[in-house]
Structure 1
């Protein structure tokens, strides 16, 4: 088991969502760097991986449980999908960094939610950890937040 698997092994469902956002952001940074280097193959690879994570998050939304927040996240994901494709198509690192700023802002909101143990009960079953599905108590570690710029989207 590598260090990443160990770090996630005790994570709550919401913390796993934060980890997905971290991966999404990491691939967006790779795409921005590839734009700057004019590396089309790396840019396409990084954008594909970023969009895979975005689509996974979108597919797990539960409007029947989440109501308006789920609808707002769906709209956010649709906007990020479009912005990412436009940034990739134009090969613009600056546009890609705008997407990163938006995603980081929403990730920060999820990081705040991760500190609330009751928030995990609203997650779909497939996003809960095994311990959460069995109703076992889960320790909530403290997390540090990252500052973000002034993106168009705010949580």
Structure 2
């Protein structure tokens, strides 16, 4: 089985929070690849790896919901923007040390997500698009809307 197929199979059945952790892992993996390219003097390879890491950061930032997540979402938005800038600076300087700093910051937040992943209540605060299909459907859930007694959908928001 190829590495890509193995990685896809590993994500089958993952929760939304576990998928977020996997995105962080991907960003870290691409940053390590960029470091290797710096050491090998592979400019094109570094640029490709950096672009992939930046794509992940942009994806994560674009999925934030400040209207739902409040100050936590704003803090994550600031974090992603800072990691984006630091990654570009590390790439421009072709600096393994700067890439290590970015990895350390991302790993720190990633580890916090791992703690969140262990909390079954955590998945309920994720934006809908970051939840898995199974997490979106909560059997038997009844929702009252605006206190008017109307029964809402079984699909969680």
TM-score interval, smaller chain: 0.7 to 0.9
Runs of 4+ in structure 1 deviating by more than 3 angstroms, as ranges, are none
Structure with larger RCO (C-alpha < 8 A, sep 6+): 1
Contact 1:30 1:43 in 2 (8 A): yes
- RMSD of Structure 2 on Structure 1 (CA): 1.1
What TM-score does the superposition give when structure 1 sets the normalisation length? 0.85
1:27 is aligned to 2:38: no
2:55 to 52, 56, 68: 52
User: How many matched pairs?
Assistant: 136
What TM-score does the superposition give when structure 2 sets the normalisation length? 0.84
Question: Which digits, 9 at most, give the CA deviation of each residue in 1:85-119, with x for residues without a partner?
Answer: 00000111110111001000000000000001111
Deviation (angstroms), 1:124 = 1.1
Q: Distance in 2 between matches of 1:26 and 1:74?
A: 21
Give ranges in structure 2 of 5+ residues lacking alignment: 140-157
Q: Find the structure with the greater CA-based Rg.
A: 2
Match of 2:79 in 1: 76
Deviation (angstroms), 1:37 = 1.4
Alignment of structure 1 residues 7-26 onto 2, 5 Å: 7-26=10-29
Give ranges in structure 1 of 5+ residues lacking alignment: 137-155
Q: Distance in 2 between matches of 1:126 and 1:75?
A: 21
